[in-house]
Amino acid sequence: MFAIGGLVRRLPLKKWSASLGCSYHTAATLPTHYTLPSGDKIPSVALGVWKSAPDEVGRAVTAALNAGYRHIDDAWIYRNEEEVGAALAASSVDRKDVWLTSKLWNQFHAPEDVEAALDESLAKLGTDYLDLYIIHWPLALNKDGSYYNKELTENPYPTWKKLEELVDKGKVRNIGVSNWSIRRLQNLTANPLKYQPAVNQIEINYWFPQPELLEYSKKHGILLEAYSPLGGDGRVGDSLRVKEVQDIAKALDITPAQVIISWHVQRGTVVLPKSVTPARVVENLQITKLPDDLFEKLEAAARAHKPERSLTPSWPIDFDIFE
């Protein structure tokens, strides 16, 4: 099981809300960290760096470290590990104080390819270990042009065993998955695993709140990490304009993005907001516990509409990757 760590965090200790007709003390009690089965403590808020362009991502990482982030969520496929590594190396923050995640891309699932893929990420990031290494998608691509390997996609235990070996070698401290359904988690964990998946990184936002997967994951001690937490590029504006989000922002004198990021952590997930805008990077770390009634209002609104994913890959596959 993962445990909720120390209490957080700054932010305005006010304010009287005319619109909601009551006063709220937003004293800080959200977790700064969760404890994984390994005993490692993973910070609850990370800087996401997908689609962070060259010449932008390094500045974003520097801004994040200066603001107090100690968690960066990267991936081989984001093609920016080198610049992220350079920004980490240039900072005065010790490597051991930063939680660094990267992800195994689809074409490297064959057991003989896993370690070389990790080594490439390690070299680019300028480190000799990752805090967390994640299988990015449940899709094992082939190198022979036949597109994907059905067997390894459906039964990724050989890939997982290789990841377990990398834990034992000390190259990664925790291993996890991404974009996995309950069915896939059950398939994997039916094997005699040495290390259970510590996390599952999935899309979670106002438009796609995934309550069933959240409940399942809490029950089975798998920490969820919320990607596209603001709705991603395409829906961030819509998310920030949601009436409940706006009302809470006004009531607590915080920004709509802070309401949403706080909601994620209050639900018990890690949250991975991406920004290359330094002021937003700072803003997104300033989270606070929402009063229970406001939290419940936002939770109910998120669950009340038809769930809509922001991210659906257009790969030519003959199965639903999310099932």
Among 10-18, 29-37, 168-176, 273-281, the segment contacting ligand NAP (CB under 6 A): 273-281
197 forms part of the interface with ligand NAP (CB under 6 A): no
Contact status, residue 308 vs residue 207, Cβ threshold 8 Å: yes
For ligand NAP, the binding residue among 81, 244, 283, 299 (CB under 6 A) is: 283
Query: What is the rounded end-to-end Cα distance, in angstroms, of the chain?
Result: 24
| Whole-angstrom distance, CA of residue 225 vs CA of residue 2 | 13
For ligand NAP, the binding residue among 19, 191, 277, 312 (CB under 6 A) is: 277
| Whole-angstrom distance, CA of residue 261 vs CA of residue 194 | 33
Nearer to ligand NAP, 251 or 272 (CB): 272
For ligand NAP, the binding residue among 44, 127, 159, 228 (CB under 6 A) is: 228
257 forms part of the interface with ligand NAP (CB under 6 A): yes
CB of 95 to ligand NAP, least distance (A): 19
Angle between helical axes of 256-266 and 278-285 (0-180°, round to 10):
40
CA dihedral of 289, 293, 294, 296, whole degrees rounded to 10: 90
Contact status, residue 152 vs residue 162, Cβ threshold 8 Å: no
Subset of residues 150 to 179 that bind ligand NAP, contact rule: CB under 6 A: 178-179
Residue 129 known to be catalytic = no
For ligand NAP, the binding residue among 284, 287, 290, 299 (CB under 6 A) is: 284
201 forms part of the interface with ligand NAP (CB under 6 A): yes
Write phi, then psi, for 204 (nearest 5 degrees).
Answer: -140, 125
| Whole-angstrom distance, CA of residue 42 vs CA of residue 239 | 26
Nearest in space to 134 (alpha carbons), one of 74, 191, 81: 74
Nearer to ligand NAP, 23 or 312 (CB): 312
Nearer to ligand NAP, 236 or 245 (CB): 236
3-class SS string, 183-242: HHHHHHHCCCCCCCCCEEEEECECCECCHHHHHHHHHCCCEEEEECCCCHHHHHHHHHHC
Grouping H, G, I as helix, E, B as strand and the rest as coil, residue 251 is: helix
The verdict on whether residue 25 carries a ligand-binding annotation is no
236 forms part of the interface with ligand NAP (CB under 6 A): yes
CB of 178 to ligand NAP, least distance (A): 4
Q: Which of these is catalytic: 24, 78, 129, 227?
A: 78
Site mask, ligand NAP, residues 48-87, x = CB under 6 A?
Answer: xxxx---------------------x--------------
Nearest in space to 74 (alpha carbons), one of 40, 91, 99, 42: 99
Among 108-116, 120-128, 147-155, 271-279, the segment contacting ligand NAP (CB under 6 A): 271-279
| Whole-angstrom distance, CA of residue 209 vs CA of residue 189 | 24
Binding residues for substrate: 136
What amino acid positions are annotated as catalytic residues?
78
Query: Residues interacting with ligand NAP, by CB under 6 A?
Result: 48-51, 73, 136, 178-179, 201, 227-233, 236, 257, 272-277, 280, 283-284, 311
